[in-house]
């Protein structure tokens, strides 16, 4: 399996273009938290214009930028981006979110930048989250089920990233541990419910990379910086 830039990461800050930042906080402030990379993406209310605005605001700062598009029609061509991280939702209820949207993108883009495009094998775990409803995900999974999805992603589909997405709630440590133990070379991302040092540390003990999103919009810079420290300490 090839290596990716995320092999050296501990922390990703995910910025939702449809959400405001706390008063007095700038994108530059967030870029200076020590995060290893910034991922620009969200589920609802996303447009090309909103994507461009966030990428442009972060571009002048020395942090790798990636777009995580929720659908093909919001993909932007911006040279400030290091690349694209494309979700493929393994437990989606519709094949559209496994390969269908991806087929549509490739069919309509005559100049796919494959050298800067990677997939993330998502397993969505919070049934209350927008992404679960959006993809009709089956979230009623035991640790063994999630471990099996992770192993399938690595062994059968050659995925370089498995992403456990709890979006909005802190995950079950047993589930994250099971996924971690099921894979060898694939990198395990974890996202959802991280709100301070301790919650970040609880997930970072098993995940290779923790993804922090809502915290930046709800609390701001110092809260994000705490999670960066926890990820590095794990």
The response to whether 164 counts as a known ligand-binding position is: yes
The three-state secondary structure class of 88 is strand
Q: What is the mean pLDDT of each run of 10 residues along the chain (234 residues)?
A: 85 93 92 96 83 91 92 85 95 94 89 92 95 94 98 98 95 98 98 96 98 91 96 95
The response to whether 165 counts as a known ligand-binding position is: yes
How far is 38 from 34, CA to CA, in rounded Å? 10
How far is 204 from 10, CA to CA, in rounded Å? 8
Q: What is the pLDDT of residue 42?
A: 79
Dihedral pair phi/psi, residue 229, rounded to 5°: -60, -40
The response to whether 73 counts as a known ligand-binding position is: no
* Superfamily the domain 5-233 falls into: FMN-linked oxidoreductases (3.20.20.390)
Q: What is the pLDDT of residue 86?
A: 94
74: left (phi over 0), alpha (psi -120 to 50) or beta: alpha
Domain boundaries, the chain: 5-233
Q: What is the pLDDT of residue 2?
A: 63
The response to whether 192 counts as a known ligand-binding position is: no
> Which residues is 12 bridged to in the sheet?
37, 211
Q: What is the pLDDT of residue 85?
A: 95
The response to whether 167 counts as a known ligand-binding position is: yes
Answer whether 0.85 is exceeded by the pTM.
Answer: yes
**Cβ neighbours of residue 96 closer than 8 Å, sequence gap 6 or more:** none
The response to whether 140 counts as a known ligand-binding position is: no
The response to whether 193 counts as a known ligand-binding position is: yes
Q: What is the pLDDT of residue 45?
A: 80
The response to whether 19 counts as a known ligand-binding position is: no
Q: What is the pLDDT of residue 1?
A: 65
Cβ neighbourhood burial of 2 (10 Å; 0-12, 13-18, 19+): exposed
Q: What is the pLDDT of residue 48?
A: 87
Q: What is the pLDDT of residue 41?
A: 86
* End-to-end Cα spacing for the chain: 25
Q: What is the pLDDT of residue 74?
A: 84
* Alpha helices (H) in the chain, listed in sequence order: 27-31, 48-59, 100-108, 130-135, 143-151, 173-182, 197-204, 214-218, 221-233
The three-state secondary structure class of 215 is helix
């Amino acid at each position: 399996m090839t290596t990716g830039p995320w092999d050296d990461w501990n922390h990703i800050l995910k910025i939702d273009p449809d959400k405001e930042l706390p008063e007095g906080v700038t994108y530059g402030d967030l870029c200076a938290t020590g995060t290893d990379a910034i991922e620009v993406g969200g589920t609802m209310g996303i447009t090309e214009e909103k994507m461009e605005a966030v990428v442009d605001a972060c571009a002048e700062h020395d942090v790798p930028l990636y777009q995580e598009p929720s659908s093909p029609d919001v993909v932007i061509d911006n040279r400030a981006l290091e690349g694209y991280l494309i979700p493929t939702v393994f437990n989606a209820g519709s094949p559209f979110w496994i390969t269908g949207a991806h087929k549509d993108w490739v069919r309509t883009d005559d100049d796919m930048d494959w050298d800067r495009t990677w997939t993330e094998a998502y397993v969505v775990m919070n049934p209350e989250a927008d992404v679960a409803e959006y993809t009709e995900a089956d979230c009623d999974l035991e640790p063994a089920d999630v471990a099996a999805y992770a192993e399938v992603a690595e062994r059968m589909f050659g995925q370089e990233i498995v992403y456990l997405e709890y979006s909005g709630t802190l995950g079950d440590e047993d589930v994250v541990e099971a996924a971690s133990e099921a894979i060898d070379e694939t990198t395990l991302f974890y996202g959802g419910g991280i709100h301070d040092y301790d919650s970040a540390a609880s997930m970072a003990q098993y995940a290779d990379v923790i993804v922090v999103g809502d915290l930046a919009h709800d609390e701001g810079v110092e809260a994000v910086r705490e999670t960066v420290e926890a990820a590095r300490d794990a």
